[in-house]
Structure 1
């Protein structure tokens, strides 16, 4: 980052999906941090219908919004879910020539697709739960013939987040309804074997020096046989333990798997990797390339625990984005 110089920073939040409100909270927090750092914050919102709104909250055209973004030195998108985290906003910013803090198109698209993420993880030797990709409720009968998928099962949309459309199936007769719920929140669904283990997350970002920096591990307190659902994530009742209560070997397993995935997916900015620690080893749950980013969200907590506060984390991510943009321009000359 240019020493002592105030930056003009676009913060992009909202989104035309069911994580709209979560994204708005993340954007508000980043806006506060950018202003506290002495920069000019330019909040831009995508409303629930996909329309754009300017910093005053007034409707604007897509062309006008892009022109506004182009006046900024750097962008900090916090669009969670489809039409944002899936690489959409990364593609737009790249085409507009605006440096941004976050993963590029490919990493966002692959990380958003839980099925494709599984394929990449397995190719790297990172364990995932046995699963099937499902496109219609009519496939419930054939699932009963798969010896790997005996209830309890977890059924969830292949894309999306915040545990929307996720359910635990304990009886085969309930599978059809669970598929209907998941397919109502996404075009395809995953049916996974239920993993018994402790939920442990870790976050990584590559800083301006090229170093891949990890936060501490974070363990989520969830009752046996339950899932970390939307209500627990956002109603303030979630229980987090930092660092996670895991052995040194388990910590090494989690961090090494996360580092391998970060690089293989081509991530940039901060990404969160969610695992289960089981009696037989570490199992990947999913990857989030645009994780929740309020001051109380998991990722900022992980970095605060290793001495990097919220504002410093935002500053480091902006610095990395600008450094990467400068390096890319110089390489193209």
Structure 2
């Protein structure tokens, strides 16, 4: 290129140099800011896509809680499995200890109650376990047909009987533990009672079972059921509910571990007619919980199974 065609360059003044430097610095800062905005905006978009819609209660939560949740999400993304695994484990543990159910029991508490030998469920569809063994002790009245109960139930009854006497009330234990052989005789006699009145055998057995459980399916076979009466009313029938003894039992029996086993209005659950004389020993703590629930034994046991899983 000729010398005459070369462009001429003017030397910049110091003021112009400073302005150009400031301009370049501003452009660099603007560029970096734009990049940062893009990155932050993209991350926020991804998080919002995954995050659930907050509830009304969550919307009113303190800002620190929201920040903690956001930090947790970021931690999950940066360190997969760490916070998520901890949260899962905590949730699992919390579920086991939850009392958010009708009985207010944890899973472990419900399982413990079901495992308690005093809580064995024996009825028309639940036979007494073949390996269910126990010791008995005598506590029946002089006129009692079956004078013994399981030792724990017997001791509790004698304590209850003494407390009733202190209040001027007499309670007798008229029928307690029955062997399966003895129960067989009762059931067969009741079945014959209905066949003698013209019912066929199948119907007679069904009707008998509403009054006397079949052998092995009676609570009396496990030594925890006590048929009670008093001098006011010695018969084992509904007339017992009109006695002072019955009223005292309704108020105090739970304190000694006994519950009214076949209450009025629960016949569709127990499959046994109302029996104000039939009381069942389950232990003091268990009796208190069952009484508080207002449920019959079948319904309470069913709820325990639902909680224990």
* Interval of TM-score (by shorter of Structure 1 and Structure 2): under 0.3
Q: What is the TM-score of this pair, normalised by structure 1? A: 0.25
Q: Which structure features the higher share of strand residues?
A: 1
Higher helix share: 2
Which structure has the larger Rg over C-alpha atoms?
Answer: 2
| TM-score normalised per structure 2 | 0.26
Query: Which is bigger in relative contact order (C-alpha 8 A, separation at least 6)?
Result: 1
